[in-house]
Amino acid sequence: METASSSAPVVGRFAPSPTGRMHAGNVFAALTAWLVAKSQGGRIVLRIEDLDAERSKPVYIDAVQRDLEALGLTWDEGPYFQHDRTEAYRAAYDELRERGLVYPCFCTRADLHAASAPHRGEKPVYPGTCRHLSDGERAARAQQRMPAQRLIVPDREVAFVDQVQGSYAQNLAADCGDFLVQRSDGAFAYQLAVVVDDAAQGVTSVVRGVDLLCSTPQQLYLQELLGLPHPAYAHIPLLVAERDRRLSKRDRDAALDALLARFKTPEAVIGHIAGITGLAPACDPATPEELLATFDLAALPTTFDDLVQVRWR
């Protein structure tokens, strides 16, 4: 199995979804990704993750690029767009299908909610409802609704060492279940798209929120099946709002335009976010380049026993 070499040039990525303006959590993730790559003499790829065609808007595609540039979070390659990558996803999907590793799933959201078992993560475990349908049953159900496509997972543990959270393991069958690689509307699922894109774009360093930690074993398994290299992963703490709810693009006070109005300059925004998250020793105004001198990824919380969320303020 091919693994990203530790001696290979570091290639990080910004991978925003153009569904709204950037907020403080997005800035924190992009800043950390930039610092991880640049502190090792690496590069940054910009990928616009616009798989969700209904929610992705051209105005936000333009805005996110302007926002990153205004903050000094420059990139070296891209932007790439997932909507241009359908054939690459299809080739990977076809390989899995030809090997008998996917099957049609006719379950509705209500079916999944009613049948799924609870587990330690945020998402329910798919119980395999459609895995063993006969050809006749599949044909009959296909008359009623278009199926999604699920990847068969083994009863097997996938483990890795995260650069922030430490050792993490997941039993694919018990903690995840067979997962989607293509939606019922024909769009390819995030898990498949992201591993194909990371490999094609040479990404060796993935920095993202800890809420996506539980997705990583699925992506590692897909990389294994497709013969793709494994990047290094760093799942960083979440910025949260009131009642420990993670920040979203609905939190107007944490939106980038509100931050610029409050702190007046991009350097002040960068410095404040760096200071409250531990990327810098204080909340003094700074450019990303100025933070490189003291950047230490180990300064972030490292395990689930420590603080893994930082309250936005």
Known binding site for Zn(2+): residues? 105, 107, 126, 130
Going by the annotation, the residues of the binding site for ATP are 249
**CB-facing half-sphere around the CA of 62: CA atoms within 13 A:** 3
3-class DSSP assignment, residue 197: helix
Structure tokens at 247: 């920040």
Element (H, E) at 67: helix 58-70
CA angle 220, 23, 124 (to 5 degrees): 40
Strands (E), the chain: 11-14, 43-48, 77-81, 102-105, 148-151, 157-162, 166-171, 179-182, 205-209, 232-236, 238-240, 309-311
* Gap between the Cα atoms of 160 and 172, Å rounded: 13
Task: Identify residue 252 by its one-letter amino acid code.
Answer: R
Task: Identify residue 113 by its one-letter amino acid code.
Answer: H
* Gap between the Cα atoms of 285 and 74, Å rounded: 18
3-class DSSP assignment, residue 140: helix
3-class DSSP assignment, residue 31: helix
Going by the annotation, the residues of the binding site are 13-17, 49, 105, 107, 126, 130, 190, 208, 249
Residue corresponding to tokens 């991880």 = 36
Structure tokens at 20: 């709204």
* Gap between the Cα atoms of 67 and 296, Å rounded: 24
